[in-house]
Amino acid sequence: MKGLAWVIALLILLLQYPLWVGKGSWFRVWELEQEVAAQKTANQALEMRNTQLAAEAQDLHSGYDALEERARYELGMMRSDEVFFHVMEPGSIPRAEVKRP
C-alpha cells in the first residue's frame, strides 16, 4: 500500500511538471506578460512621437510659418529685407594672443 501511494504521488508530480516548468508553464506565461506590458509602454511612447511628427509634417505642408521658423533656427536663413546682428556675450570674445620675444 505504501508503494502504491509513492507511485501515485510520483505520477501526480510528473503530471504537474509541464504546468510549472514546461514550455507553457505559469512562469513562462508570467514572463511573457511582463514583456507584453513593456512593449505596450514602448509602443505608447512611439505612438506619441508619431503623432507629434505627423502634426509637424502637416504644419510644414499647410503653411509657411513653420517652414520659415525651421529655416531660421536650423539653417540660419533670413529674409532679403532683414539685417543680421550677431550679439556676443562679454566672456565669449576671443582675445588675441600676445607673442612675447
| Separation in Å, CA 31 to CA 13, 20, 75, 88 | 23, 13, 48, 57
pTM score: 0.48
> Which residues, 6 or more positions from 67, have their beta carbon under 8 angstroms from its beta carbon?
60
How many Å apart are CA 13 and CA 26, to the nearest integer? 15
What does pLDDT average to over the chain?
83
Which residues have C-beta within 8 Å of that of residue 64, sequence separation ≥ 6? none
pLDDT digits (tens, 9 = 90+) for 9-40: 899 888 888 777 777 788 888 899 999 999 99
Q: Cell 576671443 maps to which residue?
A: 94
The proportion of the chain whose per-residue pLDDT surpasses 90, expressed as a percent, equals 23
pLDDT, residue 48, reads 97
